[in-house]
Structure 1
Amino acid sequence: MKPSWSTMFCLLAIAVGVAFDKGGWQIPREWNPFAPLAIEDPVTPMTRWKLKRLAGDREACLAALETAPAISFTPLDDYTPTAGCPLTNVVRLSSTQVAFSSSFVASCPLALAWTMYEQHELQPLAERLLGSRVSSVQHYGSFACRNIYHRENARRSEHATASALDVAGFRFENGRAISVLDDWDDVGTQGEFLHQAKAGACHYFGTTLGPDYNAAHANHFHLGMRGVSFCR
């Protein structure tokens, strides 16, 4: 199978990073595949690759999460809440710069991806388009020990490892509320906000799904870590 352009680009970037590293040259941290990831790093083609690599590096992932402003999370020991669905490298995320409808267990890379998405995409979009920051997020949870669409012979869902979050709506500091179910087809700013918010998520999450994907996602965005750039 021929590798994708994104894969070839990442391999090239890694090779360049090695060359710079061995030559003692300096490249921006956000472009250096070996530099630690920080919340304030601008998004580059290396960002998602770094996020994926942190799935196997608990300490580095937690260190990156600590760089987030106004975050409240609790690292959790590996455990098995439901038989057949062990959880590793997870945290309980209580709040970031937004409040959540409830705290939730998330893989550390998912929590990190959300926090970067929120800071670099979601809040600037809200201020630019609606003149108000997002104050809270309504979600349908992250962990569910099940196969995709609950099908018996399907592979495990990303939710089985707490590696995906289902986002249903947003509330803003000015009191405005926008929901995926009610406002996706809106022809004004509410619909535009949702479409741009989903498009922006594709830079941070491996899988981003919304109402245009299928009826099962009519009322939420699925933001997951699996895959490279599946955005529908």
Structure 2
Amino acid sequence: MKALSVGVRTLVWLAVLAAIAFALYAFSRSRPQDVPWTPLDLSQPVGMFTRAKIGDLAGDFAGCRTLLDAAGVRYTALPPRDDAGQCGYDDAVRMRGGGSRTIAITPDVGVSCRVATGMALWEWQVVQPAAQKHFGEPVVRIENFGSYNCRRIYGRDTGAFSEHATANALDIAAFVLADGRRVSVVGDWTAGQGRDDAAKAAFLREVRDGACGVFSTVLSPDYNAAHRDHFHFDQATRGFGGACR
């Protein structure tokens, strides 16, 4: 009887483990972006492990470009750049508007491939749904302040180099809607009295918050005065956690 009891318990545990395995398999099929072992797919919504998977592309320029190609992102691979000190890059692409699923980034800008990957997901999964929600219009242009800049953080003479020094950061200034309306960080972060003013402020906060799922660092006017007129996005290596302010 004792041996039978042990056998029954073993069968019960095997059944439980099989059920768990099946549930995990089903979940990974329906929500691959929410499990760590599935490959990154730019056609999937942003998930729990999306940011970590983008981070894993560090050092895999060919693999990163394969993702952009499969998603229809228009870009030009940039030749390596080696400036004095800790500046330069060997994994940068110049993003261009007009791809099969991307919107216009203005002006064309060279960024690390990981930043370009984050931008594509952010545009498709965060910016456009938020624009439709708040304005009933798509965004046709995202204006930026640039990426590569050989400097230290805040332009200081000493201290750590900025992610801009390796084109691993991008500063976003404004959004232009299909009907011509412009939503700028500097002008619309704080809502005015009008209904449209409230919508613009809500939109900016929604796209800021949504960026936290694809970029390692997201800084906004809530962070400090230096970011009063733009969002700073970068893909700095930070482990599992990110910085979103």
Q: State the SS of the aligned residue for 1:42.
A: coil
Matches within 5 A, 1:8-157: 27-28=28-29, 29-69=32-72, 71-80=73-82, 82-84=83-85, 85-95=87-97, 97-157=102-162
Q: State the SS of the aligned residue for 1:55.
A: coil
Distance 2:125 2:202 in 1: 18
Distance 1:115 1:165 in 2: 13
Cα deviation, 1:111-168, whole Å, max 9, x if unaligned, reads 0011001111110110111100100011100110000001122101010111111000
Distance 1:99 1:44 in 2: 24
Shift of 1:186: 1.2
Q: CA-atom RMSD, angstroms? A: 1.9
Q: Please, which runs of 5 or more residues in structure 2 have no aligned partner?
A: 1-20, 193-197
Shift of 1:32: 4.6
> Which of 189, 208, 213 is matched with 1:198 structurally?
208
Aligned to 2:170: 165
Cα deviation, 1:194-226, whole Å, max 9, x if unaligned, reads 111111111111110111111110000001112
The number of residue pairs the alignment matches comes to 209
Query: What residue identity is the alignment partner of 1:59?
Result: A
Aligned to 1:4: none
In structure 2, relative to structure 1, the CA distance for the partners of 1:34 and 1:62 (3 Å cut) is: farther
1:216 aligns with 2:209: no
Aligned to 2:11: none
Distance 1:64 1:41 in 2: 12
Aligned to 2:199: 189
Distance 1:121 1:174 in 2: 19
Distance 1:136 1:42 in 2: 21
Query: What residue identity is the alignment partner of 1:73?
Result: Y
Q: State the SS of the aligned residue for 2:56.
A: helix
* TM-score, with length taken from structure 1: 0.84
Shift of 1:98: 1.7
Larger Rg computed on CA atoms: 2
Q: State the SS of the aligned residue for 1:140.
A: strand
111-120 or 34-43, larger mean C-alpha shift:
34-43
Distance 1:68 1:203 in 2: 19
* TM-score, with length taken from structure 2: 0.80
Q: Is the 8 A contact 1:163 1:224 kept in 2?
A: yes
Q: Please, which runs of 5 or more residues in structure 1 have no aligned partner?
A: 1-19
Distance 2:178 2:168 in 1: 28
